[in-house]
């Protein structure tokens, strides 16, 4: 698949909103040795994060935000979409996603993953056929 469903602006906005769920304090960071002249920081080794709530926050945002018209157009013109849109598992995802006349970024990512999976299966099957025909 040769396109991105999430743009950097959306990624940063979601990350910034959800990072509050991590409960990280300023003194939880330490300076990291770096060869560059910039300062680099990392979490101290003894800091253990439960990222479950953070990940749930991101998933909730991705489920609320609509797939842009531009990305929908790109998806619908993508070679893998055109080839696999009638595949049973892909078709089920497409039907589920469009049921409410709203396709979220989360659903777009699920569809993209399903198309990529089918693409890999197709390549693998072709490879095996080529081996047999040697």
Report if residue 15 sits inside a domain: yes
Sites in the chain below the pLDDT cut of 50: none
Is residue 27 in a domain? yes
When divided into structural domains, the chain yields a total of 1
Whether 31 maps to a domain, the answer reads yes
Could you give the residue ranges of the DSSP H alpha helices within the chain? 8-18, 52-64, 69-77, 79-84, 88-98, 105-132
Does residue 122 sit within a domain? yes
**Residue 2 included in any domain:** no
For 116, the 3-state DSSP assignment is helix
The answer to whether residues 17 and 53 touch, using CB atoms and an 8 Å cutoff, is: no
86-122 pLDDT per residue, tens: 999 999 999 999 999 999 999 999 999 999 999 999 9
Q: Which range marks the domain in which residue 23 is found?
A: 8-132
How much is the pLDDT for 102?
95
Q: What's this model's pTM, rounded to 2 decimal places?
A: 0.75
Query: Is residue 48 domain-resident?
Result: yes
Q: How far apart are CA 42 and CA 29, in angstroms?
A: 5
CB atoms within 10 A of CB 21: 16
pLDDT at 80: 96
24 in any annotated domain: yes
Question: Does 67 reside within a domain?
Answer: yes
């Amino acid at each position: 698949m040769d396109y991105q469903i999430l743009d950097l602006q959306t990624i940063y906005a979601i990350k910034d909103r959800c990072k509050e769920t991590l409960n990280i304090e300023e003194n939880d960071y330490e300076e990291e040795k770096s060869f560059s002249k910039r300062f680099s920081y990392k979490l101290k080794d003894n800091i253990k994060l439960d990222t479950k709530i953070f990940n749930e926050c991101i998933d909730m945002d991705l489920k609320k935000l609509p797939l842009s018209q531009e990305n929908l157009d790109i998806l619908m013109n993508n070679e893998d979409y055109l080839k696999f849109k009638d595949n049973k598992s892909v078709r089920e995802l497409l039907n589920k996603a469009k049921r409410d006349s709203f396709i979220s970024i989360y659903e777009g990512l699920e569809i993209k993953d399903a198309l990529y999976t089918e693409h890999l299966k197709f390549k693998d099957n072709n490879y095996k056929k080529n081996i047999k025909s040697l």
